[in-house]
Structures are given as structure tokens and as C-alpha cells.
């Protein structure tokens, strides 16, 4: 299983996010949180999403695994993202992305044995995983890398 297209997660709005629906586009998966020092990256993620909407889908994965920085429920998270940052890209429900209850999507993203490309460690909120048009992992970026960093832009620009 070397494609993210086999995964589906529950959307924050209750509708399924089927990664197979994004075949033909690059996908940037980002674990997000509302009370993190990196939270302002929501604005950059939204900008990236709008700028490259024909070629890229940003998918935010709220998670409370790092410092309890996403304590809200789905409605609170969605309202915060919408009002504060104008987020229109898909958001999932809150997922566990580390530890023994790690969601299978993150097991795949972080394990070379599963994704066929690289082992990655999610050390904090706003870690980014970029996938190609076929759903294959291209690269992982740590929290400190801006969504508008040249390395990301070079990979998402058609």
C-alpha cells in the first residue's frame, strides 16, 4: 500500500475525506492545533491552498497529542479556523497521530515499511507531509518550515 488514496478519514463536518478523491492533485497533510506557536501557519496553509487549488489539496488533521494544544471539539475547531483564518481547505475530526492509538493514516505517513519512501517522526504540531498526484509520499517537513517555504513551493508549482 504505497498510496494515500486508500485512506479515508472523518471530516470535521461529518463528511468523509476520501484521499482517492484527490487523485491527480498533490496533497499536503498537516497536523494542526489552535493553541500552538505555529498556529499562524493556518493563514499560510490557506494561502497555499487558494494559490494552487487546481493542483494541490491541503488537508488539516487536528490533533491534541502535543502539549494539549487542540483541546476543542469539532465545532470549536471549525469555528476557530473559519473565523480566525478563513480556512476553506478540508479538516478532519481530531485524530491521534502518535503512540499506541496512532491513526492508520499516520502509521502509513511515518513508516517507510508502509509508505515505501521514508520514515518520519512527527515531533510537534504543523508537521507537513507532501504527496504527489498518485498519492505517493514525496517529502516530510518539520513544523518550523513555513507552508510557503521555497522547498514546498518548488514541489507544488506545476
For residue 92, the 8-state DSSP code is B
Beta bridge partners, 128, equal 30, 141
Tens-place pLDDT, residues 62-72: 999 999 999 99
Rounded to the nearest 5 degrees, what angle is found at the Cα of 110, between the Cα atoms of 90 and 95?
40
Please indicate, yes or no, whether the overall pTM of this predicted structure exceeds 0.95. yes
- 1 vs 38: CA distance, rounded Å: 31
36, 63, 81, 136: the catalytic one is 36
- 58 vs 129: CA distance, rounded Å: 10
Angstrom distances, CA of residue 78 to CA of 64, 85, 114: 15, 10, 31
Tens-place pLDDT, residues 115-130: 999 999 999 999 999 9
Beta bridge partners, 140, equal 129
Tens-place pLDDT, residues 11-56: 999 999 999 999 999 999 999 999 999 999 999 999 999 999 999 9
Q: What mean pLDDT is predicted for residues 98-117?
A: 96
Q: Set out the domains of the chain in order of their start, with CATH numbers.
A: 4-148 (3.40.30.10)
Furthest C-alpha separation in the chain: 40
**Is 36 one of the annotated active-site residues of the chain?**
yes
Angstrom distances, CA of residue 98 to CA of 101, 130, 135: 7, 19, 22
Amino acid at each position: 500500500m504505497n498510496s494515500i488514496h486508500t485512506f479515508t478519514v472523518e471530516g470535521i463536518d461529518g463528511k468523509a475525506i476520501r484521499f482517492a478523491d484527490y487523485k491527480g492533485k498533490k496533497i499536503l497533510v498537516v497536523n494542526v492545533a489552535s493553541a500552538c506557536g505555529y498556529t499562524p501557519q493556518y493563514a499560510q496553509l490557506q494561502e497555499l491552498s487558494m494559490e494552487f487549488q487546481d493542483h494541490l489539496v491541503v488537508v488539516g488533521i487536528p490533533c491534541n497529542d502535543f502539549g494539549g494544544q487542540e483541546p476543542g471539539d469539532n465545532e470549536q475547531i471549525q469555528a476557530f479556523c473559519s473565523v480566525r483564518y478563513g480556512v476553506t481547505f478540508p479538516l478532519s475530526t481530531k485524530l491521534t497521530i502518535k503512540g499506541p492509538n496512532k491513526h492508520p493514516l499516520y502509521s502509513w505517513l511515518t513508516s517507510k515499511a508502509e509508505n515505501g519512501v521514508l520514515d518520519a517522526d512527527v515531533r510537534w504540531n504543523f508537521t507537513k507531509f507532501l504527496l504527489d498526484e498518485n498519492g505517493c509520499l514525496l517529502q516530510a517537513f518539520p513544523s518550523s518550515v513555513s507552508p510557503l517555504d521555497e522547498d514546498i513551493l518548488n514541489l507544488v508549482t506545476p
